[in-house]
Amino acid sequence: MKEQYEVKRLDRPVDWTVDVPGSKSMTNRALLMAALSDGEVKLEGVLFSDDSRHFLESLVSLGFMVDINESEKAVTVLGCGGNIPKKQAVINVGSAGTAARFLTAMLGFSDGEYTIEASEQMKKRPMQELFSLLTGVGAKITYLETEGHLPVKICGRRNPKAGADQSKADGNPLQLPLDISKSTQFLSALLLISPMIPQGLDIHITSEKTDGSYIRITRKMLADAGVEVKYDGKNYRIDPNAVYQKKHYQIEPDVSAACYFYAAAAITGGRALVKHVHKDNSQGDMKFLDVLARMGCTVTEKADGIEVTGPAEDTLKGIEIDMNDFSDQALTLAAIAPFCNSGVHITHIGHIRGQECDRLHAMSEELTKRGITCTEEPDAITIKPGIPSAGIVSTYEDHRVAMSFALLGLKVDGIVIDNPSCCRKTFENYFDLLDQLSGKDR
């Protein structure tokens, strides 16, 4: 892919019907669940991207038998009933937060010794809460660079070298305190590896935030696989002897990816239908459709997917919205905010400063560079209407910055996306698809 991508401004409303990749979140959850199952598990609708490939390569490095068929978007994993085939291995999780958190939890509860390597980007992301919890139950973690961050060497709590007191496995559920204010992936990781904890699991959430859309995805997938998660508003409990029973997973389309096309319809007054997205999809980013409806769009469920039709030009409404629970779409809303007829105020998104980049600052910085008035707060941002100026958008090695800010170029000339290849993380043909839809000559 070229080092820069110039977006083609459209001279008419979009009229798009789109297929998007499978959900990254559900793909990587299903891969971990398959590995911890007993016997063969088939996944269909799999997302193939940098993140999922790092997850797959890590499973192979750990000795799992994995059959990959990219043309059919399918993967078959031979699960090992909660055990890891190789007792010593080196894995590299790249920039994949889900792989980093999920596989670290799995290795922390294992009987082996492993090294976890990561990209420079992932090394900056918070891991301390998970590391502290794992050492608290007897895993041994050696930091190879910066304390509290990857890369690490990890000796699982069931390995005698870790020196863990196994007498705690006395039939009572394992008690774990956890702060999820920086990432809900820590909680999802522990829930997903619960079949490795035969005495059951009690997790007490110590942070003000106790739930979230991605946790609800995890709970639903566990329930579908026969593992019930009991939640009382502050505590999560899984009964003893949890076992995954599902042998086939159909991965939903990635609603996060779908939202870029819905946003294009919103700002052009056009129509976008994304196939196989339906209102019963479990992903939290479905809430973005409600946001678009409040802003004046029409959202219609059809037999082959959900369709969004934007309002007439210059009538998209501004909005004040708490996006804590679907913050991946904060960048998407920020990118279309200049085209609203009043200001947009996005709140409770301070945690996105610790993602692939400081996303809150990135949206403020890039919009300001394009002449849009923004007010950045520790936990929120206000964006005023305006016409963005031409120029290069820095993407900070962050796929969501690249995909979101490409929307600016559908409305104004001269928007250039720097380093478009960062989209390989979740949607490697995003710009090819945008070319195809907009009729751009490659």
Q: Which residues are catalytic?
A: 328
Residue 186, SS3 per DSSP: helix
Neighbours of 153 (CB within 10 A): 14
Tokens describing residue 143: 């930091």
- Distances in Å between the Cα of 25 and the Cα atoms of 90, 181, 236, 265, 288 are 23, 19, 20, 25, 17
For residue 108, give the H/E element and its range.
helix 97-108
Neighbours of 105 (CB within 10 A): 26
Residue 249, SS3 per DSSP: strand
Q: What 8-state DSSP symbol labels residue 160?
A: G
Residue 152, SS3 per DSSP: strand
Strands (E), 288-412: 298-302, 305-309, 319-322, 344-347, 374-376, 380-383, 391-393
- Distances in Å between the Cα of 22 and the Cα atoms of 44, 86, 274, 275 are 9, 29, 12, 11
Residue 394, SS3 per DSSP: coil
| Angstrom distance (rounded) from CA 165 to CA 110 | 14
| Angstrom distance (rounded) from CA 5 to CA 429 | 13
Q: Quick check: 133 and 160 in contact, CB under 8 A? A: no
Tokens describing residue 123: 């090394």
Tokens describing residue 285: 């980013």
Residue 48, SS3 per DSSP: coil
